[in-house]
């Protein structure tokens, strides 16, 4: 591999269009004659629809059509749930794209208006008369699971969507019965609102004469959108083209295919005209999926020396009113199987209850299940450290899985690929000056200041994943990726790839992979993605899988090109293939690098095909499909340093130091950017963010005015370091990095705040750790309430 390309922090190739305003996101695209759709959404969290009168809206200026459920009967199937979790009693409620007889969350769609302009469509929404019969609502998952709670779906008893368990290792009851120490904690993983900066949108254009439809959509996975639209809207998959143009962040919220997308497609098909729908931010808060929303009752069993012998948990996971596309797999497969963390834990048991509530559906949100697992484990380790009076770093070391290079089985059934957890922690403590910080903390306490240090040592599962496993765990798709790599006659390269990045910079890192494999300049590699008519199949960008799986497919395609190029070069140099050598884009007879053929020479010859070896096809192009043999497991160690003002409860994040190991880094600048952004999102959960409903199911945090997002002035610079442990089974050795920061940082910051408050006797506070909550916890602990 060329040292100047793979592994180099070159500037991103996608940036020129983004910094000049010339990039086109879905809502930036308009077609001649485009009509505009607006969704009428339920103002009630739970109500029967008695009647709808849309006559005034239909007569309004510019209105082309109003559709309610009965207009779509037989033409739009319910929005599908595509992760059919096995052995869990999964009960899927029909998610009608336009509500049938009842609404079940504030934001459920009741009608759609299509008009000539967007403002006409929104004006007409106010003219639709809906007679609702309000019903009791329930918003908290544990409460919704109790007897007597309001029931969302008549056919589903106890609001229970599923009950999933993981049991591994030795007998869990014995482990707890025989333990020196048993510690319990209840954790509320509050509901979060993803807040991709670009709200969701869809532009559908149907051609009646051909039955073909093109959909521009804010999605992380256009091929999945195509597949599900064909099922829901009844348009054959070959007549559907889905384009994810520029997509302004997703963080999981653009995985699902939503009712509004299917409705927009329906409207275009029905009206034979392009129809565009674009949500407002308030609509995004109500109707684009949320994340987390767990209540976790957890306990750890340990010896008095701090060795963990068992971990047991019961989790109530709020799923919202309906099951979103991938929702059932998030609090189960991606959560429960990760409960061993970086530790050797001999017995683990978890029950997860997925519960319907009168809230916006909950889906993947950056980290998706792993932050919720990491937080549980990292809290328990810190509780154990406090109980036995050891430093949290020491307790971690007593439980770490020792270094392994080629596979380690944990009791939940996963095989981690490679790791050296102690090395990451050691590097972190050295870089941070941990001992000095502990001394500073002690001195500050003597002076009446409350500084806290919080560790989080994590491992995560990503690079999803072997398709055989996907089938076994009920994921209704494959998890492989494919790439086509084509050389033009001039030696320039075109890559068509199924993965669909939306901010992660893979137009650059993919070009660097090709450059590293074939010795071309990254500037000579054009990467095309996000268009189902131009690219081969891809299963989407989520679960930190795009570089890990798509990148591997691309590397393998490049290696096929190199094989063919070697054959052609040998022919042109009148040598045997076995005698050929390759270095940095040049093919030559061993020992004679002066007489080399460049990859560009060979691309030209392959394309003109004047002189090819017998039996070799013209052209220089390769397609590959990569289905990974296992997941990849990045890991790391993070430290947060906070100061708490005991008078006001204000938490200040003073320092944040991260050591992450995602294997070899294709572009370290991009890796660092992913780490920064990931950490800040996790800090947001610890300190500021919470999606709040009142008991009637009204979303109180209904706009950016009410939901506290991280801002530039509330954060310190993050200190980013790394270790490099290749994945043994990956063609490039790389692991994922998109979610690592978020998975680690919430626990690090939380542990730091509790550490700071330890002299005040505060044991726990529910997130987010707002000044009010911290202040109240201090008052309670001091007996001043």
Partner 1 sequence: MKIPVSITVNGRHYDRDVEPRLLLVHFIRDVLGLTGTKVGCDTSQCGSCTVLVDGVTAKSCTCLAVQADGSSVTTIEGLAGEGGLHQLQESFWDQHGLQCGFCTPGMIMASHELLRCNSDPTDEQIRHGLEGNLCRCTGYQNIVRAVRDAAGAAEGGTQ
Which stretches of the chain bind partner 1, using CB under 8 A? 9, 11-12, 14-25, 27-28, 119, 195-199, 246-249, 251, 280-282, 502-505, 669-670, 672-673, 676-681, 703-705, 709-713, 715, 717-718
Distance of closest approach, residue 422 Cβ to partner 1, in angstroms: 27
**Cis peptide bond prior to 768, omega within 30° of 0:** yes
Distance of closest approach, residue 725 Cβ to partner 1, in angstroms: 24
For partner 1, give the closer residue by CB, 190 or 667.
667
Taking alpha carbons only, the member of 312, 324, 425 closest to residue 365 is: 324
| Angstrom distance (rounded) from CA 193 to CA 519 | 43
Distance of closest approach, residue 174 Cβ to partner 1, in angstroms: 45
Distance of closest approach, residue 707 Cβ to partner 1, in angstroms: 9
Q: According to DSSP H, which parts of 300-369 are helical? A: 333-336
For partner 1, give the closer residue by CB, 359 or 681.
681
For partner 1, give the closer residue by CB, 386 or 669.
669
The three-state secondary structure class of 773 is helix
DSSP codes, 525-569: EEEE-SBTTTS--B--S-TT-IIIIIHHHHHHHHHHHHHHHHHHH
For partner 1, give the closer residue by CB, 168 or 702.
702
For partner 1, give the closer residue by CB, 199 or 474.
199
For partner 1, give the closer residue by CB, 417 or 672.
672
**Cis peptide bond prior to 432, omega within 30° of 0:** no
Q: Are 380 and 306 in contact (CB under 8 A)?
A: no
Residue with the two structure tokens 């490039």? 732
For partner 1, give the closer residue by CB, 197 or 209.
197
For partner 1, give the closer residue by CB, 18 or 609.
18
Beta bridge partners of 136: none
Distance of closest approach, residue 679 Cβ to partner 1, in angstroms: 6
For partner 1, give the closer residue by CB, 382 or 506.
506
| Angstrom distance (rounded) from CA 289 to CA 17 | 29
Q: Are 471 and 761 in contact (CB under 8 A)?
A: no
DSSP codes, 651-692: EEEEEEEEEEE-SS-S-HHHHHHHHHHHHHHHHHHHHT----
Distance of closest approach, residue 591 Cβ to partner 1, in angstroms: 42
Q: Are 308 and 188 in contact (CB under 8 A)?
A: no
| Sequence-ordered list of residues with C-beta below 8 angstroms from that of 177, at least 6 positions apart, any chain | none
Number of neighbouring beta carbons within 10 Å of residue 73: 11
For partner 1, give the closer residue by CB, 233 or 547.
547
Q: Which 3-state string (H, E, C) describes 12-58? A: CCCHHHHHCCCCCEHHHCCCCCCEEEEEEECCCCCEEEEEEECHHHH
Distance of closest approach, residue 273 Cβ to partner 1, in angstroms: 18
Q: Are 79 and 322 in contact (CB under 8 A)?
A: yes
Distance of closest approach, residue 278 Cβ to partner 1, in angstroms: 9
| Angstrom distance (rounded) from CA 272 to CA 453 | 61
Distance of closest approach, residue 670 Cβ to partner 1, in angstroms: 7
Distance of closest approach, residue 184 Cβ to partner 1, in angstroms: 34
């Amino acid at each position: 591999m060329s040292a100047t390309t793979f592994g180099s922090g070159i500037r991103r190739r996608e940036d020129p269009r983004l910094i000049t305003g010339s990039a086109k996101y879905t809502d930036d695209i308009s077609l001649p004659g485009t009509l505009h759709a607006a969704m009428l959404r339920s103002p009630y969290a739970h109500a029967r629809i008695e009647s709808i009168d849309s006559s005034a809206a239909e007569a309004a200026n510019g209105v082309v059509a109003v559709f309610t459920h009965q207009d779509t009967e037989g033409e739009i199937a319910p929005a599908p749930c595509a992760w059919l979790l096995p052995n869990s009693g999964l009960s899927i409620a029909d998610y009608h794209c336009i509500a049938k007889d009842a609404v079940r969350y504030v934001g459920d769609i009741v009608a759609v208006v299509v008009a000539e302009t967007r403002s006409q469509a929104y004006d007409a929404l106010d003219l639709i008369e809906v007679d609702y019969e309000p019903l009791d609502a329930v918003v908290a998952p544990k409460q919704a699971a109790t007897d007597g709670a309001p029931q969302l779906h008549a056919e589903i008893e106890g609001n229970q969507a599923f009950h999933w368990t993981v049991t591994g290792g030795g007998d869990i009851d014995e482990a707890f019965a025989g333990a020196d120490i048993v510690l319990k904690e209840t954790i509320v993983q509050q509901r979060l609102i993803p807040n991709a900066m670009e709200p969701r949108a869809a532009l559908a254009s149907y051609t009646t004469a051909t039955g073909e439809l093109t959909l521009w959509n804010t999605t992380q996975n256009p091929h999945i959108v195509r597949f599900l639209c064909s099922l829901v809207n009844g348009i054959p998959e070959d007549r559907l083209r889905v384009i994810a143009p520029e997509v302004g962040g997703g963080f999981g919220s653009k995985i699902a295919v939503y009712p509004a997308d299917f409705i927009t497609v329906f409207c275009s098909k029905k009206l034979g005209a392009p129809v565009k729908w674009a949500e407002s931010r308030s609509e995004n808060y109500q109707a684009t999926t949320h994340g987390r929303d767990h209540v976790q009752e957890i306990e750890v069993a340990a010896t008095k020396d701090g060795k963990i012998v068992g971990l047991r948990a019961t989790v109530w996971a709020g799923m919202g009113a309906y099951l979103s596309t991938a929702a059932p797999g998030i609090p189960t497969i991606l959560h429960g199987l990760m409960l061993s963390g970086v530790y050797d834990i001999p017995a683990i048991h978890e029950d997860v209850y997925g519960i319907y509530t009168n809230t916006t559906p909950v889906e993947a949100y950056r980290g998706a299940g792993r932050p919720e697992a990491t937080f549980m484990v990292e809290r328990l380790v810190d509780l154990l450290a406090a109980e036995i009076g050891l430093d949290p770093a020491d307790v971690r070391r007593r439980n770490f899985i020792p270094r392994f290079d080629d596979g380690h089985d944990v009791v939940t059934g996963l095989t981690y690929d490679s790791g050296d957890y102690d090395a990451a922690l050691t590097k972190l403590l050295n870089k941070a000056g941990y001992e000095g910080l502990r001394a500073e903390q002690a001195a500050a306490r003597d002076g009446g200041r409350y500084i806290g240090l919080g560790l989080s040592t994590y491992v995560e599962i990503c690079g999803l994943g072997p398709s055989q496993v996907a089938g076994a765990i009920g994921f209704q798709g494959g998890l492989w990726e494919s790439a086509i790599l084509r050389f033009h006659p001039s030696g320039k390269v075109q890559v068509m790839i199924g993965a669909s990045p939306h901010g992660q910079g893979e137009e650059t890192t993919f070009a660097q992979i090709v450059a590293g494999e074939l010795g071309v300049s990254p500037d000579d590699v054009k990467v095309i993605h996000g268009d189902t008519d131009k690219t081969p199949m891809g299963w989407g960008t989520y679960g930190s899988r795009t570089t890990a799986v798509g990148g591997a497919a691309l590397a393998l395609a490049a290696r096929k090109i190199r094989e063919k190029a070697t054959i052609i070069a040998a022919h042109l140099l009148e040598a045997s293939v076995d005698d050929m050598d390759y270095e940095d884009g040049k093919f030559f007879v061993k020992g004679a690098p002066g007489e080399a053929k460049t990859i560009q020479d060979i691309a030209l010859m392959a394309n003109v095909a004047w002189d090819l070896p017998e039996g070799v096809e013209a052209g220089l192009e390769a397609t590959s499909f990569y289905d990974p043999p296992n997941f990849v497991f990045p890991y790391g160690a993070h430290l947060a340093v906070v100061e708490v003002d005991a008078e006001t409860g204000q938490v200040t994040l003073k320092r944040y130091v991260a050591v992450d190991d995602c294997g070899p880094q294709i572009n370290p600048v991009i890796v660092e950017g992913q780490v920064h952004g990931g950490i800040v999102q996790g800090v947001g959960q610890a300190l500021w963010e919470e999606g709040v409903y009142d008991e009637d199911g009204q979303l109180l945090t209904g706009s950016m005015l009410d939901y506290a997002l991280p801002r530039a002035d509330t954060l310190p610079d993050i200190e980013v370091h790394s270790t490099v442990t290749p994945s043994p089974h990956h063609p490039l050795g790389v692991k994922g990095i998109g979610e690592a920061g978020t998975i680690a940082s919430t626990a690090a910051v939380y542990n730091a705040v509790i550490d700071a408050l330890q002299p005040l006797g505060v044991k726990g506070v529910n997130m987010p750790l707002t000044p009010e909550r911290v202040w109240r916890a201090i008052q309670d602990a001091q007996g001043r309430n």
